[in-house]
Structure 1
Amino acid sequence: MPWKEKTVKSERETFVREAQQREISFSALCRKHEITRKTGYKWLRRFQAGEELTDRGRAPTHQRTQTSAATQELILSARDEHPAWGPRKLERYLQNKGYTELPCKSTIGNILKRNERIEPEISQKHKPINRFARECPNDLWQMDYKGDFTMLNGQRCYPLTILDDHSRFSLCLKAEDSLSYERFYPALIQVFEMYGLPHELLCDNGKPWGDSKGGITMFDVWMMRLNIRPIHGRPMHPQTQGKEERFHRTLKEELLRHRTMLNLCDAQQAFDDWQYEYNYERPHSALGLDVPAKHYKVSSRPFIQQPPEPDYPDGARLRKVNYKGYVSICRHRYYLSEAFAGTYLQLTDSGENSVDLHYGSFRVASINLSERLITSKHIYWAT
């Protein structure tokens, strides 16, 4: 965060004086003064070199063929603070900070290359990819765990991430110590309480929400009771959650490669700081270099702590699922899932010798009665 404008010189002098006293850690001192550690080291070096603690001039030289030294230093400083950002993001970031006399993107790129801040091979990997996106915020959320890593205390950290498909807004970046349902459940409730409910939620088939055999889980039933359609990507096809995969790569490039986490508390603090930057400061290529927060708004659907069981219309044909997950239709038992144990499903005709089973607003199975075979066990919105 920037220095407070009215006290910029005195703030820097106070910071340098406290840094020399070493009464608290350098990181804590930087947080106290609301600056990054890189900025803190910069002012400490200038003081030790006998330089004034004032801003260096940023005025352009008005030369058509050469960018001023001050502007080049500004660009390089921004790049050093965000080493994974390219020319387009740096240009928009500096514009958002109020700088107007900036060179074009190609010139910024040349400045970075000239000063060994960027390599052609790395640049080639970051070409934007056009992806389909939902039309409105909260139409679809994508959820996944980033690959785990070891912290300095020897424990492993499993980052839980949730992303809004339309805006790319990061809804959750939670440092967890396991993939257990007990850890995941309260984290997701916290997100629902803060942002409301999505229309659909996409995740993979792994723990803690999936079933490697593609069956309906307790998580799926919970989502349907909240009137959210759970979607599971095809096994071995991570591209189904392309935006989550891209978010994980960005998290790795911009944070995890440059910082070692001490423990879960330290990791969560780092995640919170970076998530704020990602949502409110970092220009996003897929959004025309807008920040995600500009395209996101909280859902109008509030979270219900104890959602009721589905309410079926009068005269509906209902079937109760037994404790082993079976439902009886025409004197034959069909296995659905133990997750439905004790619940009622609505039976509807879907064609000659075929029926559908519905749980509230969702079709959860299709059955061919003549062959006594479940032909589909996927969750869809009921038409």
Structure 2
Amino acid sequence: MSSLDQNRVIVLAVLEMGLTPSEAARRFNVSRQWVHVLMGRYREFGEAGLEPRSRRPSSHPGATSEDMRARITALRAELDAAGLDAGAESISDRLRREGASPPAVSTIWRILRSAQMVVPQPQKRPRSSWHRFEAAQPNQTWQSDFTHWTLAGGTDIEVISWLDDCSRYLLHISAHPRVTGITVTTTFSSTAQTHGYPASTLTDNGMVYTTRFAHGKGGPNAFEYLVKKLGIIQKNGSPYHPQTQGKIERFHQTLKKWLALQPPAGSCRELDEQLAQFQHIYNQERPHRALDRKTPAEVYTSLPKAAPAQPSERHWRVRYDKIDSTGTVSLRYEGAMRHLAIGRAHKGKHVIVLIAGPEVMIANAETGVLLAEHTIDPSKSYQPKK
């Protein structure tokens, strides 16, 4: 029996059969109050009053206001247009930073879904199943990698980044025609001058970072020598397993999403300007889910910094040079010119020179392969290599 039919029978039992409300309630297994409600509806509206009614409350004091709903959908559009994360948690953070009291993240998601601004993806792996591996302190591990980007004229450019593992703080980002071993060494050194040396580094097995898969050809490169001299642990991911460097891989996805919505850069210099703008947004303005919705800058500056287990007291400086026709490179040390032997076979090659007091390392500027090491003897002009 439908609800309408049952309501009609209850009313007729009272009106035509002479049952009392209590008797009708017992007969049809309903409450006495419900019988009185039906009788009142019938007297006021007739049979139309016996139609089943919605139990939905007439008012919702806790409902999200129309102004808040409009701001949520507007923020979604703004963040999408800027190439930034536009999920419910990101929108909640933005609202809080604007001084508003946002509704629950689940409510924001429902508002976006009702506005057809998100598509449910039940097939995605739940975040609760993820296993995160991260450093406990800033500067405990720096991750690095490079990715490709295309300029307005179609020229392929490579972008190198250094990212703090603990805080996701973007320590360095720059564009280059090609990332070489020297690019790695110089960007690492300049970043360390600003932020201090890390306790370890984590990269893939690219030749610009390590020559361990070069089958003994050429020996370690300048970057490998430098981190060893500084007491820094060098870690490399397993071959064909980019998940080990997952943070820098995910960062490059975020970077490219943002760059794709910017005016195409016409040169490396213009791209560097865009990268500097993104670096500020990423570090200072963009809360991170893995950081309890804090920004990388907030986390990086709030915790004590790690350092190499056996830190070197020397600070390495970098200079560029060219091997002369005699197979040497000259530099001034303790007021006199010193001529550092490398070998005539390398004459004319461009090199990078790493200097820390009397210790000198000289590497090929194109390949990063170490060509010579010297410990300068102040009593001699000509310095044979080790």
Aligned length: 254
The answer for the alignment partner of 1:261 in structure 2 is: 264
Contact 2:142/2:200 (CA < 8 Å) preserved in 1? Answer: yes
Q: Secondary structure at the match of 1:143?
A: strand
Residue aligning to 1:79: 76
> CA deviation digits over 1:133-160, x for unaligned, max 9?
11111011001012x1211122112111
**Residue identity in the other structure for 2:72:** I
The normalised TM-score by structure 1 is 0.59
Relative to structure 1, the CA distance from residue 252 to residue 121 in structure 2 (aligned partners, 3 Å threshold; closer, same or farther) is farther
**2:165 corresponds to which letter in structure 1?**
D
**1:106, 1:214 → 2: CA distance?**
54
Taking only aligned residues, the RMSD between alpha carbons, in angstroms, comes to: 3.0
Contact 1:91 1:105 in 2 (8 A): yes
Q: 1:174 and 1:79, CA in 2 relative to 1: closer, same or farther beyond 3 A?
A: same
- 2:185 and 2:210 map into 1 onto residues whose CA distance is 13
Cα 1:178–1:122 shift into 2, 3 Å: farther
Give the distance between the partners of 1:127 and 1:113, measured in 2 at CA. 20
User: 1:50-79: CA deviations, max 9, x gaps?
Assistant: xxxxxxxxxxxx953532222122212222
Return 294-303 or 183-192, whichever deviates more.
294-303
**1:21-60 alignment, distance < 5 Å:** none
The answer for unaligned runs of 5 or more in structure 2 is 1-58, 308-312, 318-354, 360-368, 376-386
Structure 1's unaligned 5+ residue stretches are 1-61, 311-337, 345-383
Aligned partners of 2:287 and 2:295 also within 8 Å: yes
Tell me, in whole angstroms, the C-alpha distance in 2 between the residues paired with 1:268 and 1:228: 28
Deviation at 1:223, TM superposition (A): 1.2
Instruction: Give secondary structure in 2 for the equivalent of 1:120.
Output: coil
Query: Which secondary structure state, in structure 2, belongs to the residue aligned with residue 160 of structure 1?
Result: strand
Letter matched to residue 264 of structure 2:
M
Aligned AA for 1:269?
E
2:121 counterpart SS class:
helix
The amino acid across from 2:300 in the alignment is Y
Question: Structure 1's 244 and 214: CA in aligned 2 closer, same or farther, altered over 3 A?
Answer: farther
Residue 273 (str. 1) matches residue 284 (str. 2): no
2:240 maps to 1:239: no
**Structure 1 residue 309 displacement after superposition:** 7.8
Flag the 1:342–1:259 CA change in 2: closer, same or farther, 3 A. closer
How many percent of aligned residue pairs carry the same amino acid?
Answer: 28
1:307 has 2:356 as partner: yes
What is the TM-score with the length of structure 2 in the denominator? 0.59
Which one is further off, 226-235 or 103-112?
226-235
* Whole-angstrom distance in 2 between the partners of 1:341 and 1:182: 15
Q: Where do 1:234-383 residues align within 5 Å?
A: 234-253=238-257, 255-262=258-265, 263-297=267-301, 299=305, 303-305=315-317, 306-307=355-356, 339=370
